[in-house]
Chains A and B, each alone.
Chain A
């Protein structure tokens, strides 16, 4: 929630979560190793490992001893549920606040949403 403390962790975790949400990474699919992530992001392997550990604790990934990290079969559903739960506070509320700041009537915003839905 207030996870602005470690940009590298967040980059890796967000990247993997985004891939899981978009199904670029599917359930039970193996993810790249911590060493491959470390080399790609030019970071210490221990830092990459910690990002993975965090994803394991959150249930996004699971570990097969001696083989590597895999996407949890229910990770996508769980992430979608979590994003749904936070959608209004994370996306809609700031949008409404922004609209008020710049002086867009909420009626116009609702109109726009309706237009997008009809497309």
Chain B
């Protein structure tokens, strides 16, 4: 399903969670939604799912407003970070409830997923470990096959093998049944290869929306003798730098054409890729607390062409 958000504002009392966010997502892709704690990820997903009404701005899913619009919300699924916590009885009961709620539900798939994650269908959800509750949430999210499926840190409680099984299942099911999937996560390194596009928000605003491979191609680590690195990076957007004796490594953000790359090679500089996690850390203000100095958003938003 297509998502169009314009000038979205969400306030809780004095707190502004979303501050004039504008974003359009085309249908049928896997999106990574990245942001630091308190950046507004969960607020955005809650508004998209119709769980919360926006304070101001326009939110449309496939061109229609979402809040209290049953014809749209039935086709949107948001699995929250706490997994399946509805006081509903056993995993089997949760699945029965989901089947009744979800028009595109696949019961056989749900049962095979429970099996994959080693969940006893008869066990009461309240008595499950955090990881198992997360897995039940993930099963409901995947088997619901909702045209807009969003996972908000849903798999954070799961252990590494279960998360890997989730990523494989998600990818296989997305290939078989393409739909719009939004994954919000802090485990960037683990999941980033699944994203077709990446959305980074900070302090309730959009920082970057770009195809993930294009975003990765914009980040370049330049390493070499300090003076040469400084000369090469002068006038370019430098996200951060590290120093080891006479050697400096600077993170550049922006396109480097072949001529510039040739120039770097000729002056003995090493160019390398930056992974998404490092780019994310530097695009949202470095490793300090949230709200620290970030590069001017306008400078970075060049990728927002949609």
Say yes or no: A43-B194 contact (C-beta < 8 A), given A9-B213, A35-B175: yes
Question: In the complex where A2-B261, A5-B216, A5-B273 touch, is A45 in contact with B29 (Cβ < 8 A)?
Answer: no
Other A-B pairs, 6, CB within 8 Å; known A6-B213, A8-B213, A42-B194: A7-B273, A38-B175, A42-B171, A43-B194, A45-B175, A47-B212
- Chain B CB within 10 Å, residue with most, of A2, A4, A39, A44: A44
Contact of A44 with B212 in the complex, beta carbons under 8 Å: yes
Chain B min CB distance to A99 (Å): 19
Residue among B213, B220, B261 facing the most chain A CB atoms (10 A cut-off): B213
Asked if A47 contacts B193 (CB within 8 A), the reply is yes
CB-based contact B196/A46 at 8 Å: yes
Q: Mark B210-229, 1 if CB is under 8 A from A, else 0.
A: 00110011001000000000
Q: Does any Cβ of A come within 8 Å of B189's Cβ? A: no
Distance in angstroms between the alpha carbons of A39 and B261 in the assembled complex: 33
Tell me the complex Cα distance, A39–B32, Å. Answer: 18
Judge if A116 is at the interface, Cβ distance under 8 Å.
no
Please name the residue on chain A nearest to B220 by beta carbon. Answer: A5
The reply to whether B213 and A38 contact each other, CB–CB distance below 8 Å, is no
Residue of B nearest to A9 (CB): B213
Binary CB contact string for chain B from 248 to 274 against chain A (1 if under 8 A, 0 otherwise) = 000000000010011001000001110
The 8 Å CB contact of B271, one of A4, A7, A41, is: A4
Asked if A50 is an interface residue, CB under 8 A from chain B, the answer is yes
Which chain A positions have C-beta within 8 A of B196? 44, 46-47
Given the complex, which residues of B lie within 8 Å of A7, measured CB to CB? 273
- Residue numbers in A under 8 Å from B193 (CB-CB): 8, 41-44, 47
Chain B neighbourhood of A6, CB < 8 A: 213, 216-217, 273
B172-187 residues with Cβ-Cβ distance < 8 A to A are 172, 174-175
Is B258 in contact with A1, judged by CB distance below 8 angstroms?
yes
Chain A interface, number of residues (Cβ within 8 angstroms): 19
CB distance from B164 to the nearest CB of A (A): 9
Encoded as 1 (CB less than 8 Å from any A CB) or 0, chain B from 261 to 300 comes to 1100100000111000000000000000000000000000
Give the residue name and chain of the A residue nearest to B176 (CB): A35
20 residue pairs from A and B, CB less than 8 Å apart: A2-B258, A2-B261, A2-B262, A2-B271, A4-B271, A4-B272, A6-B216, A6-B273, A7-B273, A35-B175, A38-B171, A38-B175, A41-B193, A43-B193, A44-B30, A44-B194, A44-B195, A46-B196, A47-B193, A47-B212
| Max count, chain A CB within 10 A of own CB: residue among B29, B193, B220 | B193
Q: Verify B265–A39 contact, CB threshold 8 A.
A: no
3 tightest Cβ-Cβ pairs between the two chains A and B: A2-B261, A5-B217, A43-B193
Chain B residues with CB below 8 A from A9, complex form: 213
Asked if B109 is at the interface of the complex by the 8 Å CB criterion, the answer is no
Whether, in the assembled complex, B159 has its beta carbon less than 8 Å from a beta carbon of chain A, the answer is no
**B258 with A39: CB separation less than 8 A:** no
> CA separation between A78 and B176, bound complex, in Å?
36
Which residue in chain A gives the minimum CB-CB distance to B193?
A43
Interface residues of A in 36-58 (CB under 8 A from B): 38-39, 41-47, 50
* B67 adjacent to chain A (CB < 8 Å): no
**Nearest CB in chain B to that of A2: its residue:** B261
Contacts of B232 in A (CB 8 A): none
Once bound together, how far apart are the Cα atoms of A29 and B196, in whole Å?
Answer: 29
Q: Chain A, 1-40, contact with B by CB distance < 8 Å: what is the 0/1 string? A: 1101111110000000000000000000000000100110
| Closest-CB distance, A80 to chain B (whole angstroms) | 25
Contact with A along B71-87 (1 / 0, CB 8 A): 00000000000000000
Provide the bound-state CA to CA distance between A8 and B195, in Å: 13
